[in-house]
Amino acid sequence: MPKFAILGPGAVGGFLAGALNYRSLSVTVVADEATSSRIRAHGLHLKSEMIGEFSTRPRAVNALTEPVDALFVATRATQLEAALERIQAPVGLMIPLTSGVEHVEYLRQRFPASKVCAASIRISAEKKSLGEIVHNSSFAVIDTAFDDDWLNHRELRPLVGQLSVAGIAMMVSPSEVQVLWSRIVFLNALSLTSAITDMPVGWIRRDPAWRMQMQSALEEGAAVAQAQGAKVSVEMTMDYVDHARDTLGSLMQRDLKAGVTPELDAIAGSILRAGRRSGLACPTIRTLAAEVATKAGIPSP
């Protein structure tokens, strides 16, 4: 049985840890001392539309000192550098689920490049409190890729069946840029518009002015993605927006309300930087990002 570890038990990491442990798979949560102590004492409580409501108590440590087959990096982009100091043992595969696109190269500079795959996760989850996770989507899909690297694909594929036991689908693709950029285009548009309006996607899609802003941000992001070699359909993404749960919001929106530094640079900033390299201006994204930065009291990306 593969040994899994989760770095960062927030909404995504907490869901993964709880779902894996609930199905008796080997999983270790890696977090700071306060968080790991809380999980050891009280466990995790998950309320999931997909797999039900339950409590479970995975192993929790403040540093990974034993080898694992797969490490899911689920920490915030703003906390990534500090969190990685907790990884003190060999990792078979590192599967980063951090927001953005630039973190993969950063991880490959710190760890063996052949062990770090490109990945993203499709999920709607929220951490209500420390150890309490609400998973309010009927799916949890992890997209992974090594660019046409058959040997590493061979290492990824045995994980597919293990994760499916916990209701988590893992898709293995030959295109890293497609995996990374197909998610961030939508995430960026939703994050910026919901953070500024403090409204969910149902309100945004029904308000003509904000619907236009979201579509413009999607179009600019898709153009940047195409310049990187990925294909993102604005029409299909807007169709998803039109059929998404009315109450769908974003972590960036919740961060602003809570006074937490949002992942603005990792999300919008990475698109703007890639756009500049490709000669694409992205005026809507730049304007929206500047407004979020002003609200958060941080530099604009």
The confidence score (pLDDT) of residue 147 equals 84
The strand pair at 44-48 and 59-61 is best described as unpaired
Mean local confidence (pLDDT), 3-32: 96
Name the residue type at position 34.
Answer: A
**How many CA atoms are closer than 13 Å to the CA of 230, on its beta-carbon side?**
26
CA nearest to 55, candidates 39, 69, 71, 74: 39
CATH number of 178-296: 1.10.1040.10
Helix (H) or strand (E) holding 40: helix 33-42
Q: Which fold has domain 3-174?
A: Rossmann fold (3.40.50)
Q: How far apart are CA 296 and CA 298, in angstroms?
A: 6
Q: Are 225 and 231 in contact (CB under 8 A)?
A: yes
Confidence of residue 114 (pLDDT cuts 50, 70, 90): confident
Mean local confidence (pLDDT), 66-80: 96
**3-174 and 178-296: identical CATH topology:** no
**Bridge-partner residues for 59, per DSSP?**
28
The strand pair at 132-135 and 125-129 is best described as antiparallel
Share of the chain above pLDDT 90, in %: 90
Looking up tokens 């973190």 gives: 103
pLDDT in tens, 153-178: 777 888 999 999 999 999 988 899 99
| Two tokens, residue 244 | 């998404």
C-alpha angle 253/259/265, rounded to 5°? 60
The confidence score (pLDDT) of residue 195 equals 98
Average pLDDT for the chain: 95
* pTM assigned to the model: 0.94
Mean local confidence (pLDDT), 184-198: 98
pLDDT in tens, 118-150: 999 999 999 998 889 999 988 999 999 988 676
Q: How far apart are CA 67 and CA 36, in angstroms?
A: 18
Domain positions in the chain are 3-174, 178-296
| Two tokens, residue 149 | 């690297």
